[in-house]
Structure 1
Amino acid sequence: MPNDLSASAPLHRTTEPRVLVRVSDMGKQYRQNSPMVFENVSFDIHQGDFVCLIGHSGCGKSSILNILAGLEQPTTGGVIIDGREVTRPGLDRGVVFQGHALLPWMTALQNVAFAVRAREPAASRHAVREKAEHYLAMVGLAKAMHKKPFELSGGMRQRVGIARAFSTQPRLLLMDEPFGALDALTRGLIQEELLRICTETRQTVFMITHDVDEAILLADRVLLMSNGPSAKLAEDVANPLPRSRTRERMHHESGFYEFRNHLVDFLVRRSALVQSDPNL
């Protein structure tokens, strides 16, 4: 594997930020005497990193995200976030799933305000509304804030979900294939909005995706899982492209095709072979 694609490649920073998330020797087994879904998974996420996890179905991607969210418990190992072990859900983590999970009887504004109120129960009604409006405007929904979910398109509903997650000001934003159900044009627009917002806010993100180009556009690092059962973290690959990338320009960047081919080759060929020979 070329050196410029290794996990030690520079991420265009002048100083190394602190470790926010530490996953250590984590494994998951759902039934006794059944194979481990994944095992011996260890990685760090630094403050401000955007990390994508890629792998085939059955390798435990969503289980890893659920453990980070505190929705599931690992069978072995554990997770430390900001110096504390994760044992349950918390407002220090925001979650965006593929389904928007909005409350259907509430407007977009009310859905986001509900999250703000959970984070700041003592805040005044005016302060809560002001924050909810701010985050809806941030995702381009200032003119749709009084609409209910059934009045919004799929892409707009997902934007409300993203605004709601950001409104709790999480230390870690967790995203489980959030754009998988959207059409290509809408997905591309929201990807670029998310990249802009995360660049401006230095939000730390852990995201699951099946889309290689999405990972290249968004991620500072891409984690590659071998096939399950007993899946392992096979590679931790730094994105060699500068962070100021866009969908239109990134394929012109030096190293784009080498990086893309490396990821595709892993998914097509090496993810199935690495279980028997980790050096492949």
Structure 2
Amino acid sequence: MTTTESNSLYSDLEKMSIKELLFNINQEDQKVAIAINEVLESIGQLVAQIVSRMKKGGRLFYIGAGTSGRLGIVDASECPPTFGVSHDLVVGLIAGGDSAIRKAVEFAEDDEKQAWKDLSKFNLSEKDTLIGIAASGRTPYVIGGLKKANENGLLTGCIVCNQNSKVAAVSQFPIEVIVGAEFVTGSTRMKAGTAQKLVLNMISTAVMIQLGKIKGNKMVDMQLSNLKLIERGTRFLIEELEISEEKAKELLLKHGSVREVLNQF
């Protein structure tokens, strides 16, 4: 188990100065992007499959426990405001339910049947995709969910940080990001968590771009849910249409989105 069981490359951490701790953590973090670069082809294959299904009306689901589950929920929750999609298009589920987002639910990840029970509330179809997230690659909650998804015709993928894991074995499109031993032995909230977050960003962003949710490099479908996003949308329109700030903001508030304004010109 190269991530969860291997000993740290460092010893006597408690004797390090703050400067040494931060430098060494940063040294380890720099290995994450390199590890992801090694699996870009696997990520691309999964993205292509997801896009194909979502164009036919499919949805994307993430399941995980602990840090992995929380990261899936974060990615899913960011899709509606960023890309203007419905909240049920990308869904994150965590072992133990929503209460586990803030506080760990003991032994929730050990129930191999629970993930499918959680997923079954969403009236799944063969157009849908399920991605299991598990640093160790051996979380029963994730393994069970992927097994049942396969049996029911869903597309399955995973993000794990150990090679030849049980989670990867039950995934049609596994992504194995081998980041190596953590700075603190077994603390997969560190490099493994960072790797999972980066891969999730890549998957959801690439999928949404392929689905037409970006124009040029602009988030033209973002929800205007706060002043910051209204200001951002206003800037987009100033740049695209070469109009005044006052006019851009007026048009944005009138039509409700950057895309709707651009469609008028």
Calculate the TM-score normalised by the size of structure 1: 0.28
Higher relative contact order (CA 8 A, sep 6+): 1
Query: Which of the two has higher C-alpha Rg?
Result: 2
Calculate the TM-score normalised by the size of structure 2: 0.29
